[in-house]
Amino acid sequence: MREFGYQRVFDVPGAVTLGADPEARYLGGGTNLVDLMKSGVERPGLLIDVRELPLDRIVPTEGGGLRIGATATNSDLAAHPEVRRRYPALAQAVLAGASGQLRNMATVGGNLLQRTRCAYFTEPAQPCNKRTPGSGCAAVNGEHRNHAILGASEHCVAVHPSDMGVALTAFDAVVTYETADGPGELPLAEFYLPVGDTPHLETALPSGALITGITLPPAPVAANSRYRKVRERASYAFAIGSIAAALDTRDGVVREVRLAFGAVASRPWRARAAERALTGAPATAESFAAAADAELAAAKALPHNGYKVTLLRNLVVAVLTELTEEAAR
């Protein structure tokens, strides 16, 4: 491992001044970054520990939204009463990730910026365009059972591993950040860049930007929401497919629906075609299946991950049916 410096910071201006150094990385819980440093994928010259910054609060906003500080731990986010009441799928998504110990360490900002779990990415001896641009993609003709079916390219078929990000995507979260030049914000829909031929460029964050928080706009529909994650063992495993869904129906008709998929693309995937197909449609299993088909028509499966298309279709039907039945009780 390369020798590195370590600096704890206590205020945002001090953090972003240090963060302007291209060799520096912000350190949240370290649960992803430190692993990548051990394997040699990340080689920072300086770690800027952000956990003492005054950015760990979760505050309800007027009208029913939430402001979530970037250094709030995943555990605190999942346990917060207003998260559980206003955005239950978000609390469920966070609790579906990692383990209790990891969630106690992991931060909200770090979770959004965690890197892919593609085994070729974390093994420096393998070709990987994301780690070493131009070296090739070992997964396309290799092990890709858990790789992307949506929005990928021949240059990279990796998926984003965050559960939290899927729920945040369904609820139109906005990421706020600070740089040495001032503050900025990015809707999560624009935060992750398309893969194209530059899979090493993952987000639209300016260089050296410190994520300061996430704003969730008010969304009454989110009170009737659910996160469902499918994985290869019952706990402590990344998703092979997941869904965050929220539904509002009246007289058997869909008034509003939110849908996002996880583990199918390089970013949490907002299922807008499915949402469009469902709005105003009868809240029935047939409509839910047709909406899933509308979204998944764009899927491009590799030889070993075609099962994800069926998996996601079944998730859409099952979770929306449950939400419909619960709302009717």
Ligand X SMILES: Cc1cc2nc3c(=O)[nH]c(=O)nc-3n(C[C@H](O)[C@H](O)[C@H](O)COP(=O)(O)OP(=O)(O)OC[C@H]3O[C@@H](n4cnc5c(N)ncnc54)[C@H](O)[C@@H]3O)c2cc1C
Beta-strand relationship, 182-187 and 210-216 = unpaired
Binding ligand X by CB under 6 A: which of 164, 170, 174, 291?
164
In terms of Cα–Cα distance, which of 101, 15, 5 is closest to 47? 5
86 interacts with ligand SF4 by CB under 6 A: no
How many C-beta atoms surround the C-beta of residue 123 within 10 A?
Answer: 14
210 binds, among ligand X, ligand SF4, none (CB under 5 to 8 A by kind): ligand X
In terms of Cα–Cα distance, which of 239, 264, 246, 258 is closest to 164? 239
241 interacts with ligand X by CB under 6 A: no
In terms of Cα–Cα distance, which of 173, 264, 252 is closest to 214? 173
51 interacts with ligand SF4 by CB under 6 A: no
Binding ligand SF4 by CB under 6 A: which of 18, 139, 186, 239?
139
138 binds, among ligand X, ligand SF4, none (CB under 5 to 8 A by kind): ligand SF4
With respect to ligand SF4, which residue has the nearer C-beta, 21 or 123?
A: 123
Q: Any residues with CB less than 8 A from the CB of 8 and at least 6 apart, and which?
A: 49, 51, 52
118 interacts with ligand SF4 by CB under 6 A: yes
DSSP E strand stretches across 95-224: 174-179, 182-187, 210-216
Instruction: Please list every residue from 181 through 210 that binds ligand SF4, using CB under 6 A.
Output: 199
With respect to ligand SF4, which residue has the nearer C-beta, 127 or 217?
A: 127
What's the angle, vertex CA 209, arms to CA 203 and CA 210, rounded to 5? 110
- The separation between the first and the last C-alpha atoms of the chain, rounded to the nearest angstrom, is 57
Kindly state the smallest distance separating residue 107's Cβ from ligand X, in Å: 4
With respect to ligand X, which residue has the nearer C-beta, 159 or 319?
A: 159
116 interacts with ligand SF4 by CB under 6 A: yes
Of 46-54, 132-140, 181-189, 320-328, which segment contacts ligand SF4 by CB under 6 A? Answer: 132-140
- Helix/strand/coil (H, E, C) string of 23-43? CEEEECCCCCHHHHHHHCCCC
- Say if residues 172 and 188 touch (Cβ distance below 8 Å): yes
138 interacts with ligand SF4 by CB under 6 A: yes
Kindly state the smallest distance separating residue 130's Cβ from ligand SF4, in Å: 4
Binding ligand SF4 by CB under 6 A: which of 156, 174, 219, 222?
156
217 interacts with ligand X by CB under 6 A: no
Binding ligand SF4 by CB under 6 A: which of 158, 166, 271, 291?
158
What's the angle, vertex CA 217, arms to CA 213 and CA 223, rounded to 5? 115
Which spans of this chain sit near ligand X (rule: CB under 6 A)? 25-33, 50, 70, 74, 97-98, 102, 105-107, 109-111, 113-114, 161-164, 210-211, 238
